[in-house]
Chains A and B, each alone.
Chain A
């Protein structure tokens, strides 16, 4: 990957709660190359959705504590909703987790799209032909524009939202768990559409947020694994799956049942324990309490460093 589209540097985003700050994203740094499709994987509460949301602008409960996000060389004003709205949809776009509720239920889809475009100062007639072309590409009839969202199946809604989100060719697309509610065959079609949109330069870079490593393995160029608000490992997809270096990544992969693996012949093991509370997280490596390799030095936070080309790991034992 030569040119870098997105650069995130030491980003910290916390949630304000009555009991204190939840340090959901605590010093995250990575880059996404031009045309790169990155899978962002992790378990519930690891901060992956917070990271995705941070890139398109914070909501009221989130606080930008530090760090920067740079897109195409310009710094994104992620903490400033008013300025951020100039970037959203045009430069950065998101396909939210629940496409079911992403569209206005009281409007026919075509009218909703036109209103959305006009609210961003774009003449809808000018992009209508392109809209039809892209609908055809994801296997939807132009006739869906005359329907209400409720008349579409889950997979159709998901593809519709995908077309709307990328209509203005954003530099960065964040796809948040967009296939988790779908059946396997629909899931494959939606995942392949993401690759297709990248191949056709509708989007420059894509971040796919998911809990399902085997799904991103199919389509991503590289994978980032998050744990408890920090990045654990980032590597090219095949390296991450075949030769992971972080103990968490290894244990997570070992806990996934695959077709052909059976309980009576090969018993898989989970990861004992649970992640620390992010309300007041302990210092040092956050995986320490569950890690079989932990030693005294883990009381100190390991840096997220390159152990091989494009392979970054936050673990003292990995280098």
Chain B
């Protein structure tokens, strides 16, 4: 369904744009229907840039991103709108995804013009209610409210509902639960699991290895813009091959398993200092 072939992203940096920063280098991956692919990396690994390129928020500098075989870079007008009817993104901070001046459900209302112009009021309301119920929100509790009156978990689920309203086939979920509390985070994860069972493909972007493990079929480990290891999640976590993956897993705080104390207190290599 979605495939990335040798995708690069380079930025011009420096005062006069004289230097080049490679944020993403030669990344290839694929997401099939009903598959969850975890894109795992630390800050600066390029994981969010990849999500933004898929969503066409920033152009790729090299390589090809295809959806159903078509190069997404060429989409304009009606084709781009159709693409967004299939592919949507949800991001980390639910509070900054909404305009605080308007009620939160305006995020849903804005889709009506471009995508549901033919629907009458009753059919539209029924559709909104159905998508809210699919993410286990009570329409009576969340409609007609301002963003500050809702919790982070509610706002985040409403954004997923917004994506579902369109009957999307691929969701780019960029750190969507990092800001949620532990007790509500798992609800959003379970919701994604249910959607996956219904055939939704999900690109799950995260820095947290334990969250990347819970849902995903395939894990892709990124380091400084490059894929260092990829494979079935159970294999990558159970028998990591790349030293970077191993060091990530060794540093991950886990319950019921304590760190090997290194004794030396040092920053990671390459962090400078």
Contact = CB atoms under 8 A, between A and B. Distances in A.
Interface string B246-273: 0111011111101101100111100111
Contacts of A43: 181-183
Contacts of A139: 265-267, 273
A187 B253 contact: yes
> Which of A139, A191, A269 has the most chain B CB atoms closer than 10 A to its own CB?
A139
Interface in A115-156: 137-141, 144, 153-156
B86 interface: no
Given A141-B273, A156-B272, A183-B207, A257 B256 contact: no
Interface in A54-73: none
B186 to A, nearest CB: 4
Interface residues of A, number: 52
Given A139-B267, A259-B237, A270 B258 contact: no
- B interface bracket (residues with beta carbon within 8 Å of A): 35 or more
B48 to A, nearest CB: 14
Given A153-B272, A252-B183, A270-B186, A196 B253 contact: no
A184 B272 CA distance: 16
Contacts of A257: 186, 189, 210-211, 213-214
Interface string B193-229: 1000000000000010111011100000000000000
A144 B185 contact: no
Interface string A177-204: 0000001111111011100100000000
Given A217-B253, A268-B186, A260 B265 contact: no
Contacts of B93: none
A152 to B, nearest CB: 8
Given A183-B268, A184-B248, A257-B214, 6 more contacts: A137-B265, A141-B273, A193-B265, A259-B213, A264-B193, A270-B184
19 contacts: A43-B182, A141-B273, A156-B272, A188-B259, A213-B182, A217-B258, A252-B183, A255-B182, A255-B186, A257-B210, A257-B214, A258-B256, A260-B213, A261-B214, A263-B190, A267-B193, A270-B187, A270-B190, A274-B151
